[in-house]
Structures are given as C-alpha cells and as structure tokens.
Structure 1
Amino acid sequence: MNVNAAVVSSFDHPPRFEHFDLPAPSDADQAVIEVLAAGLHPRVRSAAAGRHYTSDGRLPLVPGIDGVGRLADGTVVYFVADDDVPGSMAERAVVDLRRTVPLPGDPDLVKVAAAMNPAMSSWVALRRRVPLQPGQSVLVLGATGNAGRMAIQVAKRLGAGRVVGAGRNPEVLATLPDLGADATVALTDDRDATAAALAEAAAEVDVVIDYLWAAPAAATMMALLRARSDRSRALDWIQIGSVAGPTIELPSVALRSANLRIQGNGQGAVSVRAYVAELPSLVDEISSGGLAVAVRTQPLAEVERVWSEAEAPGVRTVLVP
C-alpha cells in the first residue's frame, strides 16, 4: 500500500513528506490503521537521528512510536508502534492489535497523542519499577521538560504526599505549583547554591525520577545523601532520561555510605507486556482530564519544517495527517 508519510532517508536530515510503500500485515494480530494524530516526542527525534539505543541503523524509516488512529471497524484507539514495522507518522500504519487501547467516549484525540508518551515514563516507573506508596515523597529532576511536568502530576495522582520539581527553565518552574509541586528548586550554574537548595527541599525524599543524568544527577545525589538524616533509609533513584548527557561520574562513597538504589525505566527494563498493561489506566487519566498537557497541532505534510523548529517549553507537538 502506497501512503504519504514522514520518511527518513538520512540520519543527517529531517524527515521529508514523501510516498512510502507500507507493508501488508504479516499475521492476524496486525492490521492497517488510519492515523489521526502522532506525537513528536524526543524519543521520536532521537530514533530519526539514529541515536536512540534501540536504533538498528536501517534506512529508510518512518518515525513515530505511538499515536491515535481508527481501525477498519471504526474503533478509535491509542496504539504503540511495534519496533519491526514503520512508525506512526504516516496517513496509515500497521499496528499490532495487542498494543492498542480503545478510547472511551469522545476524548480529545490530539491531547491523548500528546500526553501518553511523556506521561508513560513516570506512570510506569511509579507503578512497575518502584511502586509508590501512599504519602511517599518524590523529587523530579528535569521537571521543566514535558515529561518532567507530567511526572509532577503523575506522582500526585498516584498518592505522593510531597513532590519537589527541579529544573533550569525559570518560567516553566514557576508553573509547577499549579500542577501539584509542593516545592521547586532552580538548577543553576552556581553549584554550591544549587546543592544547598536541593538539600533543603529534597533531602528526605523517597524516590527520585531523573530525566537529566550526567553531572546534574551526580551532583544531586551527593547533595541529597550528605543532608539525609538517616542514610540507611532507602532512596530509590529511577533513571529515565539523559538530557544532560549519557554517562555519569559518581564517587563510590555514594553507594557505600547510603542506601541508594539506582535503576532505569525504559524499553528492556520493563517488558512490552507490562507497558501495554498500564495503557488503559493511563488513557483513563488523560481522557478524564486528570493530567494537563499543552499541545500544538501541525500538519504531517509540513513535517520537514516542523522538525527544524524550536519546541516551545512545556508544549508537545502533534502531527495530524
């Protein structure tokens, strides 16, 4: 089937709106879906540049890891794209029906397409990796990004007693209390002042959701551990993103002198089956208005232009065929 799609032919160039030969479904679990909306997530950008850890280097490819679409029988669903088929940024896509969730009522399809991916990281992290206990406290490191803003809301919805948001963008940081943050910390170039602010606001948290990694994560770990009243009390660190860099230099004393437990959340750390099992409850949260998201809608045909534009802080772009 020939469809219009965002096509990546080089990892050094944005996708172009071109014709693409969509493969036929390979078995009874697959079907062709009419794509209604697909989110332009950071994960999509990294895959289209060949930089994501799941990338296999094969070209051409159609980017897009999820979306909202309509099946042949008229059912509107949220779907997660399979790694073995072209992505969701096309007029039509091949989907695994086991990775779809019907959308109840009359939901805002663009909002669902925008919110599911950034919300899913913290939702799965706090339900599957380190199940959040009612009343526990959470620090979101990198809270001024889309996923970080979602994590503030998710932590509250899942019963966190106190949530601290830390990030660099002062304008977005000022909006976090409206999303549920009980305290905020500005990450600045003044290392000592930042460490002191983190220690004061978040030394006693139970869980850290980390979208930054690299030097900011290492500095935050040491600031929290040095100020913690009881270092033997568990501090669960969930590594999700690496906006600040892919590697970390961490003193060994951080692991020997405190009960610091570091683990990741992503493809491989959690099974596809576990991710899919969490989709219905997250769809319900988003559809009911439980999670706020700012969206801008752009036509798929303008993907090359849209790809090169700077993202507005806190706003997720959704492409619509």
Structure 2
Amino acid sequence: MSIHAGVVKVWGNTPVYDSIDLPAPSEDQIRVKVLAAGVHTLVRSRAAGKHFTVAGKNPPHIPGTDGVGIIPETNQKVYFNALLSPTGSLAQEINLGKHDVFPLPEGADPDTIAVLVNPAMSSWMALTARAGVQPGSSVKVAIVGATGVSGQTAVQISKAFGASEIVTIGKPGPKLEKTKQLGATALIPLAEDLTKTDFSAAADVDVVLDYLWGDVSSAAFAGIINARKNKNQRLNWVDIGAVAGDTQPIPASFLRKANVALLGCGPGSWTFSELYGQLPAMLEALVKGDVKTDFAVKRLEDVESWWNEKGGARPLVRI
C-alpha cells in the first residue's frame, strides 16, 4: 500500500514529504498507525548519516526512532520502538516487530510519551543497564549537560529513581535554574574558563550522566575527581552524548588514583532485550512521576519547512 512519509534521499539533506510503498506486515510484524513521533537528537543524527546505527546503509531513509500509535484492529494505543524497523516513525503507518510494541499505561498522554521516551531512555538505561542502579536506590547523581531536553528529563528520572542527591551541571541561566524545580539538589554553573568551574558540589556522587563529552566533560572529570574526598568510592561515569565534542583527554593518573569506571550508553552497550525488559517500568515511571518537557507541535506534511529550524522546543510531529 502507498503511504506518505518524510524521506531523506541524500544523507544530510532535508527530508521531503513523499509517498512510499509499505508492504503488508509479515507474520512476525504488526501494522501501527502512527499518531505522534518526536524528532530527537538521535533522529537528526541518523538522518544526517552520522550515527553508528546507520553506518553502511544508504538512503532513502525515513527518519524517526520511536513514537506512539494505534493498532487499527484493536484500537489500542501503544508506544513503539522503531530502531529495528525497516522504516522510521515519521510516516503515516509503520510495520514493527511484535516485540517492539508496548501498551500505553493508563493516564498516559500520547504526545508526552512520544517526546519523552527517547530522552528518558538515555538516563534510565544509563542508570540501570550501565551503572547497575535500580529504582528506589538513594544513589547520588550528577548530570553534565542538564539544560537540554535529555538532561532535564534525566533530572526527573533520577528523582523518580529516588536519588538522594541530583547535581546539575550546565551553562548558567534560566534552563539551569529550572532544574531546581525538576528535582535538582545542587547546581554547578559552568564558568567561561571551564577550568575555573567549582565542581565540589558533585564530589561525592556515585554516577555521572554525561550528555556533552568534549572539553566540558574533560573539565568536569578533573574537577570532580580532584574534589573527591574518598577516591576509593566507586564512580560510574556514563557517556550518553557528545554534544561538546567526540573526544576528550583523560590523564591516566585519574584512572589510577580514583575508583572510576568509564562507560557508554547506547544501542550496543545494552541489548534490546535489556531495553524491552525496562520499557514497561519506564513508561509507568513517566506517567506516575508526571515527567514533563516542552515541545513544539509540527505537521508531517510541512517537514521541509521546519526541519532546519534552530533552537526552541523539541519538535513533536502529529501524523
């Protein structure tokens, strides 16, 4: 059958609104009518051909890694993950593996779920699958890059986990201040000269969720390790993103003088079985914790006009 979708025809080019042929679902698949999908950082990176999950693949590419939809036969609303799907979620309909689909909890807002699961997934999987933390733990968390959508969601996820301390690190201003309302117990504003930033408020944390890497992470790593009183206390440093750069120098001495583990979080560092085992609890936590974020509603048919907009709230595509 023919449907409409946003289609990237050359890596890095703006998607165009076009028709595609969607085959009938196989015995292992289910057809879902897409209601809403978030345009996450991951979605844009894949559409540019720069993410490792599209390495070796060629366009055409339909962007979108997840969303909320409805199963026509049952009228049931579901969250779905499309990372293993042949097509992305910026489409009217999608064929998904039956294990890629999860019922929405009672009281869930479809738009909020579509926007939030991807950024929530990053911190949830970093805490559970990578740092070995379970909900209800009184873990102490620091978040490097707390002013973005994923960082602010990480504050709320950490709070839902029961974290006893949540230290947010980012550029000074209203977005960093807002993290207090979301659950942060201490704020570390980055100085213009990063090496002059006082990281002592995060000296005692158990886990660092790092969305930035690069020079910011390098300064934070040195600042936190140097301020740590008990250097034998385990510190799990989990890299989730690289907004500030793909590389950073880490002196070998830091890895010898402190009990620190460098970890990454993304598909490959955890399995989809692990992710799918966590998703029902994650969805429930988003609803019960009343986790929120700002988003800007966009139309799929207008994708060419809004795709390259800079700044503002994360786009939420209603289909």
Task: Name the TM-score, length of structure 1 as normaliser.
Answer: 0.94
Query: Aligned equivalents of 2:30 and 2:253: distance in 1?
Result: 53
Following TM superposition, by how much is the alpha carbon of 1:260 offset from its aligned partner in structure 2, in angstroms?
A: 1.0
Following TM superposition, by how much is the alpha carbon of 1:214 offset from its aligned partner in structure 2, in angstroms?
A: 1.5
Of 146, 152, 156, the residue aligned with 1:153 is 156
> For residues 178-197 of structure 1, what are the structure 2 equivalents within 5 Å?
178-194=181-197, 197=198
AA at the equivalent of 1:319: V
Following TM superposition, by how much is the alpha carbon of 1:136 offset from its aligned partner in structure 2, in angstroms?
A: 2.2
Following TM superposition, by how much is the alpha carbon of 1:105 offset from its aligned partner in structure 2, in angstroms?
A: 3.1
Aligned to 1:316: 314
AA at the equivalent of 2:122: S
8 A Cα contact 1:143 1:152, kept in partner? yes
Segments of 4+ moved more than 4 angstroms: none
8 A Cα contact 1:11 1:50, kept in partner? yes
Deviations 1:184-229 (A, max 9, x none): 11123222321xx21x211111110000112211211111111111
8 A Cα contact 2:85 2:95, kept in partner? no
- Give the % identical residues: 37
Following TM superposition, by how much is the alpha carbon of 1:289 offset from its aligned partner in structure 2, in angstroms?
A: 4.8
> For residues 1-321 of structure 1, what are the structure 2 equivalents within 5 Å?
1-25=1-25, 27-55=26-54, 56-73=56-73, 74-132=75-133, 134-168=137-171, 170-194=173-197, 197-198=198-199, 200-312=200-312, 315-321=313-319
8 A Cα contact 2:204 2:228, kept in partner? yes
Task: Name the TM-score, length of structure 2 as normaliser.
Answer: 0.95
Deviating more after overlay: 3-12 vs 131-140:
131-140
AA at the equivalent of 2:167: V
Following TM superposition, by how much is the alpha carbon of 1:23 offset from its aligned partner in structure 2, in angstroms?
A: 3.0
Query: Aligned equivalents of 1:225 and 1:240: distance in 2?
Result: 19
AA at the equivalent of 2:308: S
Following TM superposition, by how much is the alpha carbon of 1:237 offset from its aligned partner in structure 2, in angstroms?
A: 0.4
Deviating more after overlay: 281-290 vs 267-276:
281-290
Query: Aligned equivalents of 1:206 and 1:98: distance in 2?
Result: 33
AA at the equivalent of 1:316: R
Query: Aligned equivalents of 1:82 and 1:216: distance in 2?
Result: 29
8 A Cα contact 1:110 1:297, kept in partner? no
Following TM superposition, by how much is the alpha carbon of 1:132 offset from its aligned partner in structure 2, in angstroms?
A: 2.7
Q: Secondary structure at the match of 2:32?
A: strand
Query: Aligned equivalents of 1:235 and 1:258: distance in 2?
Result: 8
Deviating more after overlay: 9-18 vs 36-45:
9-18
Q: What are structure 1's unaligned runs of at least 5 residues?
A: none
1:106 and 1:233, CA in 2 relative to 1: closer, same or farther beyond 3 A? closer
8 A Cα contact 2:6 2:18, kept in partner? yes
1:106 and 1:228, CA in 2 relative to 1: closer, same or farther beyond 3 A? closer
Following TM superposition, by how much is the alpha carbon of 1:259 offset from its aligned partner in structure 2, in angstroms?
A: 0.8
Deviations 1:169-197 (A, max 9, x none): 51200101000001111123222321xx2
Report the number of matched residues: 315
